[in-house]
Amino acid sequence: MDILRELFDEYYHLIRPSVFKKTALHPQKAHDDFLLFCKFIHQTRLSSHLLNHSNNCSSLGISNAAGFNKNGEFPLEVMKDLGFTRAVVGTVTYDPWIGNPQPNIRRYPLTESMVNWMGLPGIGAKKIAEKLIAQQRCLRCSSVPITINLMSTPQKQGEEVLHDLKGTISARRHIPGVDRFELNISCPNTHAVSGKVDARKENLKQLGEMLSVVEEQVFEEQKILLKVSPDSTEKDVLDITTIAHQYKIAGFVTTNTTTHHRREFIPISPQNNGQQVGGASGNAVYQDSLRVQRLFAQQKKRNKEWIIIASGGINSLEKLKERFSEGASELQLFTPFIFSGPQLLRRFHRYFMSRDQ
């Protein structure tokens, strides 16, 4: 069966350039086609033969990063076959939200980077809950655990934000397999009350109130994580960890995308009305992400139990090892998965299996 997987890897690399070319102006289309393909191989029971067989999974904690499975549309069994040991769903907002006009993603294949300014589109918490419950009912074998990444519906403010978070969690906490909630306080693509793009500053101001609501809503055994920005300053990290210390926070996902578009990775930034837009990921975020991960790792002196989940441009074993040596114990992938396909996860699992023996 390894031959089938190797053929699939070859195929992924062979068709990737033409898919990228065809969908250069609409990268979302490539994602939608990949989803259709995954659903097809799931229905025909081919996914475990073509992808990573679940028996290959090592002790490595590896999930998709949010945005890849926004509405819980990927069958959980396929997520497992792709090599993920956990599925992140979201960002889930309470109300359905249309997001920014498409196209709102740009790929930079030469530097294995992307910029997106999607603005948290989604079908809303209730519909996503129905989808996940339906999936859980028809699962053929044990599934992967689920993290819900959440934030309030864009443009809500004050009490409405808290009401949204409460509603999202209460619709989701009973779903079997949901054992983590990840609060996304780091999306650079949503509008603040002032109307300017980027609500991250406002999220920080309201963090204590938000955590109080989240903590009140989740069940005792469910963990709460904070997904943070690679653009955080040392002061931001101090402020966040001071507040997090007052709540039952299990740890941090370091990090989301960056508005710092390094020219060596993003030679031409997407623009809207003459203004640079979007958050950069993949190689373009790696350095900022690592810097912020280090700052959070230093703050583990406040609470040794905090875990760090590395996210941002982890596209090689060297980078995986670097992130783990700097305090991470799990990882999340999005952009590197787009450019490398499932073989990247297989490579990571193989390394961990040989390390575990």
Least Å distance, CB 12 to ligand FMN, is 17
Least Å distance, CB 99 to ligand FMN, is 9
Distance CA 228, CA 255 (A): 5
Nearer Cβ to ligand FMN, position 154 or 313? Answer: 313
Nearer Cβ to ligand FMN, position 30 or 171? Answer: 30
| In the block, residue with structure tokens 């195929």 | 11
Nearer Cβ to ligand FMN, position 67 or 75? Answer: 67
Least Å distance, CB 142 to ligand FMN, is 25
- Three-state SS at 48: helix
Q: What is the CA radius of gyration of the chain?
A: 19
Distance CA 228, CA 246 (A): 17
CA angle 23–25–27, rounded 5-degree value? 50
Q: If we measure between CA atoms, which residue out of 283, 229, 224, 288 comes closest to residue 255?
A: 229
Least Å distance, CB 256 to ligand FMN, is 5
| In the block, residue with structure tokens 């054992």 | 179
CA angle 69–74–78, rounded 5-degree value? 125
Least Å distance, CB 45 to ligand FMN, is 29
Q: If we measure between CA atoms, which residue out of 260, 254, 333 comes closest to residue 295?
A: 254
Q: Which residue is nearest to ligand FMN (CB)?
A: 67
Least Å distance, CB 245 to ligand FMN, is 22
Q: Which amino acid is at 110?
A: L
Distance CA 161, CA 220 (A): 23
Nearer Cβ to ligand FMN, position 313 or 341? Answer: 313
Least Å distance, CB 200 to ligand FMN, is 12
CB atoms under 10 Å from CB of 343, counted, come to: 18
Distance CA 43, CA 269 (A): 40
CA angle 51–133–341, rounded 5-degree value? 20
Distances (CA, A) of 107 to 238, 264, 273, 316: 33, 14, 20, 19
Q: Which stretches of the chain bind ligand FMN, using CB under 6 A? A: 65-67, 70, 91, 105, 114, 116, 118, 120, 149, 184, 187, 227, 256-257, 281-282, 285, 311-313, 333-336
Nearer Cβ to ligand FMN, position 105 or 277? Answer: 105
Beta-carbon contacts of residue 331 (< 8 Å; ≥ 6 apart): 60, 61, 62, 63, 309, 310, 311, 314, 320, 323, 348
Least Å distance, CB 194 to ligand FMN, is 22
Nearer Cβ to ligand FMN, position 47 or 283? Answer: 283
Nearer Cβ to ligand FMN, position 47 or 255? Answer: 255
Distance CA 229, CA 312 (A): 10
Least Å distance, CB 306 to ligand FMN, is 18
Nearer Cβ to ligand FMN, position 135 or 255? Answer: 255
Beta-carbon contacts of residue 217 (< 8 Å; ≥ 6 apart): 165, 166, 169, 170, 173
Least Å distance, CB 27 to ligand FMN, is 8
Nearer Cβ to ligand FMN, position 72 or 282? Answer: 282
The pair of three-digit structure tokens given for residue 54, joined into one six-digit string: 């679940």
Nearer Cβ to ligand FMN, position 148 or 285? Answer: 285
